Amino acid sequence: MSGTCDMRCVLVSKSLDLRGYLGPEFVHAADRIEIVSHPHDGPAMDVRLAVAWHPPDDAFEHYPNLQAVCSIGAGVDNILACPSLRPDVDVIRVVDPAQAQMMSGFVAWHVIGHQRRFATYQAQQREQRWKRLGLDVRRAQDVPVGILGFGEIGRRVATDLASLGFPVMAWSRTAKPAPHGIRAFDGAAGLDAMLGQTEILVNLLPLTPETRGILNRRTFGRMYRGGYLIQVGRGEHLVEADLLAALENGQLSGAALDVFSTEPLAPRHPFWCHPRILVTPHEACEVSVAAIGTTFRATVEAIRAGQRPPLTIDRTRGY
Ligand code: NDP
Ligand code: OXD
């Protein structure tokens, strides 16, 4: 390690060139930190910090003095799933209000698309057919939206949809006070109560053992018939066969899917060509490199001061 540096940070990803992604500004702005890429040939003892996204299974075995791993996104499931991550290592997420705003726009587009039946107009245009939908055009206030997850992003999505006039409900693990115009639900009974009043379901949960597979036949069956799914959490939340069945039997009228259990989505996957599924490539929103940098600097400062980094997630909860 060079004389002016007191810490080494390793960049670890099997899916992304993190050095290129974060850019020279991030690397050079790291005050008194040497940034190296995994696999790292030099002495591994000085590596106390990692920035990671989908790390290889054995990645963290190489760094016995690792104290903290920073995600480059809001979700940390890909880091927690790494078998070589020791239980005592802190995992740090990013909170980026601009990311939440971007997600909110993405969700609103799909919500309004379902409410205003944009798919019907697109089909009519292909046939050069001028047909007004008349009384079939519904007001926002008649289309209730249920949001799974009432955290940093879910709260922003809920508030913005409420301001557009939709009746908004949001579900969390622990009871939450809800801002004006939003109804809050929690726990298993709260989920059933919310689903029973939901036409559009937005998934904004973290992936944990409790939430894996939550978008399933039972969940869809409790929603209004002809409902719509906006899936922007993680692919493993969804039981794919149950979605296809719900679309087939009319329980759901459509779905917007941004995340998949295997990414990129496999060629010839039935979702690609399904007439009522809209696929986007995990791009509902992005954390900015500036926000990653802010979190990183706060993490370094905390480690230097012998404190817990501010955005450390709770490893027992999994988010
Ligand atoms: P937060 O951690 O801020 O919020 C998570 C919310 O989910 C909280 O309200 C939490 O409840 C709730 N929750 C967690 N577990 C349960 C459970 N078992 N039952 C009920 N509620 C539960 O996360 P963010 O809002 O920042 O992000 C949410 C997720 O969105 C990310 O983890 C990621 O999976 C996904 N995401 C997807 C992106 C994309 O591009 N598609 C981009 C960014 C994020 P409580 O409030 O009680 O803790
Ligand atoms: C995130 C994501 O977790 O982009 O931030 O999925």
Q: Using CA positions, which residue lies closest to atom 33 of ligand 1?
A: 75
Examine the domain organization and report whether 179 and 270 are in the same domain: yes
Q: Is 254 helix (H, G, I), strand (E, B) or coil?
A: strand
CA distance 146 to 314: 26
Q: Taking the CB of residue 164, how many other CB atoms lie within 10 A of it?
A: 14
- Assigned domain for 314 exists: no
Examine the domain organization and report whether 184 and 274 are in the same domain: yes
CATH number at residue 45: 3.40.50.720
- Assigned domain for 81 exists: yes
- Assigned domain for 316 exists: no
Cα of 239 vs centre of ligand 2, distance in Å, is 20
Examine the domain organization and report whether 141 and 265 are in the same domain: yes
The tens digit of pLDDT for each residue in 139-165 reads: 999 999 999 999 999 999 999 999 999
The tens digit of pLDDT for each residue in 61-107 reads: 999 999 999 999 999 999 999 999 999 999 999 999 999 999 999 99
Q: Which residues pair with 92 in a beta bridge?
A: 70, 312
**Domain coverage including residue 126:** 97-279
The atom of ligand 1 lying closest to the CA of 75 is 32
Examine the domain organization and report whether 174 and 291 are in the same domain: no
- Phi first, then psi, for residue 202 (nearest 5°) are -110, 125
Number of compact structural domains in the chain: 2
Helical H segments across 92-198, by residue range = 97-115, 118-126, 152-163, 187-195
Ligand approaching nearest to the C-alpha of 53: 2
Q: How confident is the model at residue 42 (pLDDT cuts 50, 70, 90)?
A: confident
Residue 55 burial (10 A CB sphere; 0-12, 13-18, 19+): buried
Examine the domain organization and report whether 163 and 258 are in the same domain: yes
Mutate which of 285, 311, 313 to test ligand 2's pocket (most atoms within 8 Å of Cβ)? 285
Supply 110's token pair: 């799909």
Cα of 76 vs centre of ligand 2, distance in Å, is 8
Residue owning tokens 């993680």: 234
Percent of the chain scored above 90 by pLDDT?
92
Q: What is the pLDDT of residue 288?
A: 95
CA distance 91 to 150: 21
Ligand approaching nearest to the C-alpha of 106: 1
Examine the domain organization and report whether 110 and 247 are in the same domain: yes
Examine the domain organization and report whether 172 and 50 are in the same domain: no
Examine the domain organization and report whether 265 and 145 are in the same domain: yes
- Assigned domain for 68 exists: yes
Cα of 73 vs centre of ligand 2, distance in Å, is 4
CA distance 30 to 55: 21
Examine the domain organization and report whether 13 and 46 are in the same domain: yes
Helix axes 18-29, 289-304, angle to 10 degrees: 60
Examine the domain organization and report whether 90 and 134 are in the same domain: no
The tens digit of pLDDT for each residue in 216-237 reads: 999 999 999 999 999 999 999 9
Are 176 and 158 in contact by the 8 Å Cβ rule? The answer is no
- Span 288-294, average pLDDT: 95
- Assigned domain for 310 exists: no
Amino acid at 239: V
Q: Using CA positions, which residue lies closest to atom 2 of ligand 2?
A: 73
Examine the domain organization and report whether 133 and 55 are in the same domain: no
Residues with catalytic function = 234, 282
Examine the domain organization and report whether 219 and 291 are in the same domain: no
Ligand 1 neighbourhood includes 152 CB (under 6 angstroms): yes
**CA angle, residues 29, 32, 33, in degrees to nearest 5:** 80
Which is it for strands 145-148 and 200-203: parallel, antiparallel or unpaired?
parallel
- Assigned domain for 21 exists: yes
